[in-house]
Amino acid sequence: MDFLKKFSFTGIIARLGQSLKRFPIAMLLVAVLMCFLIYSNHGGDLGPKKNFFFIFYPATGALLAVSLSLLTEDFKRWRVSVLVQALIHAAWLAISIYLSRLDRFSLPQTIAVVATVFAIGISIFLICFYRKSHDVPFWNFSIRTLMGLAVAVAIGGILTLGLYALIESLKMLFDLSISNLVYPDIAILCMVALTSVLFMNLIPAGEDKYLTSAPEFSRFAKGVVQYLFLPLLGTYMITLYAYAVKILHQWSLPVGGVSYLVSGSMVLMVLLIYVTYPIQHLEGNKLFKRVARLLPVAMLPLLALMTVAIGRRLSDYGITLSRLYLLVFNLWCYAVCLWLIFTRNKRIWPVPASFAIILFLISVGPQSIANVTQHQLKKEARAAFMASGIQEFPVTSEQYEQWLAQADPKVARTIDSKLDYLNTDFGFRSVSDLLAKDVILGRVSAFDENGHIISSTPDTYANEDLIINAPVPSGYATMTMVHGTDNNIVKMAGNKIVIKVDDSSDVEHLFEMNVKQLAAFDDERNPDGVDKPLLFENSEALLLINDFRVTVFPSGVQYLNFTGILFTR
């Protein structure tokens, strides 16, 4: 690469001013991020929400600023350029402020943020080339930018390790006392600030940004592609074709895992076509060109196999996030293969661009896969409850257990599994309008000959710092700090647990707990805190729980750990 040949320390310094002029907002945000990280490393704390904002916004805003600068630097009217950047940055600032005010992210929000940041990051490589009629400039720019990123990270990493070694040498040779805070500071300066500045400095600019000449591949590079990656892809595809022949011979449906093998083959094919793209514009290499053009055609039957496998999983087990994402990816793969066949592998820009756009569309907003999945599973659960006569929600623990015992075993198992999936992946808030806090989910796997539920999946509930909300009880004479484990369990019967706790005079006190009570106090089910402390009382004592963690297996409670205060009369 030409820019690597020109790479030097003096060259970087000479171009630093140009990069500052080219990416002023990005560099400013990197400086803000660096300062805040150093401030935090030295004990600074603005609170969880402000801490999140001053890390998330500068980091993602810098990516956005680089992308917008690359887009608008070719605008003929500077006022349009300024207006576009100002409006988009203002919108992202508002989004960042909104996100920073949330107590915790739900799964749909997390997916939406990740997909948006990914789209911003990949737009750096794509955004300048949407009007180009051919993709050689895009390929040159993207390869050079990726190489620049790799060089920047390598330099930052080497400098970080070198400075670490220097500090250790100073400690050893001169017996110096150096604070451990220096190490994170060095990492921040080198891996955050220096790496970011170097990366922006190495992004092609001017004439280098739109190079239209296809570079020659070295003999070594051609050998690696032809004798390593192409045979590897061929082996994958032959294996999958052999599996397809097997299932046709046995007339059986493919297993779900085949989807991931096909996906891997598809990704490898796209990368192979992308890396070798310049060969399509060079003379010779006829055999390789033919093979490369046949790859999308050969991939289509394997994609059909993947479609059948996904359909089987959806039919047998219903929808989940991963299955719907995999289905959309499968449909995208069909479109990519047809596009590559139609263009004879000569237009590759739409491939990553369409991936980023589709990922954004199915991950952000009310139409996102996460929201659709959540809505559909809740709709099925509500319909099952209402079909059995339940009309008022949320369903209490007693109602839910009665419904499990009376409903069709297959329906009960399916609905319990779906509600447990929502609770586990989306959080209890996603089902809080359907179920009370003390409902225990995910313990239905099968039924015995008499129709009784067999529970198999362990449940864990935990919370801490509950005493800060507890009033001092009246009528008690002594107070003892206590800590208990599963060794304190005296008796277990279903959801009931009897534990023993000794006071300061070694007098034993028994308390009865119920797993439902612990489930209702689980931190995940109380993201905004609880209204009252968790306490257990008998005729002689009161046990006030500060924090607890309990894991329930089919045979009963296998793990219990709690701390609290024992009040005795």
Q: Which two tokens stand for residue 318?
A: 């219903």
Q: State the residue for tokens 């950047």.
A: 85
Average pLDDT of the segment spanning 102-108: 86
- Which one-letter amino acid corresponds to residue 497? I
pLDDT value of position 235: 86
Peptide bond into 394 cis (omega under 30): yes
Whether 157 has a pLDDT exceeding 80, the answer reads yes
Spatial neighbors of 4 by CB under 8 A, at least 6 apart, are: 147, 151
pLDDT digits (tens, 9 = 90+) for 49-65: 999 999 999 999 999 99
Do the beta carbons of residue 557 and residue 486 sit within 8 Å? yes
DSSP for 4-73?
HHT--HHHHHHHHHHHHHHSHHHHHHHHHHHHHHHHHHTT----HHHHHHHHHHHHHHHHHHHHHHHHHT
pLDDT digits (tens, 9 = 90+) for 296-307: 999 999 999 999
Residue 475 region, left (φ>0) first, then alpha (ψ -120 to 50), else beta? Answer: left
pLDDT value of position 10: 66
Q: Can you give the pTM of this predicted structure?
A: 0.84
pLDDT value of position 234: 84
Question: 150-163: b or e for each residue (b if 16 or more CB lie within 10 Å)?
Answer: ebbeebbeebbeeb
**What residue spans define the domains of the chain?**
2-210, 219-365, 377-457, 461-568
Q: Percent of the chain at pLDDT above 90?
A: 42
Do the beta carbons of residue 280 and residue 305 sit within 8 Å? no
pLDDT value of position 469: 62
Average pLDDT, the chain: 86
- Report the distance separating Cα 512 and Cα 496, nearest Å: 7
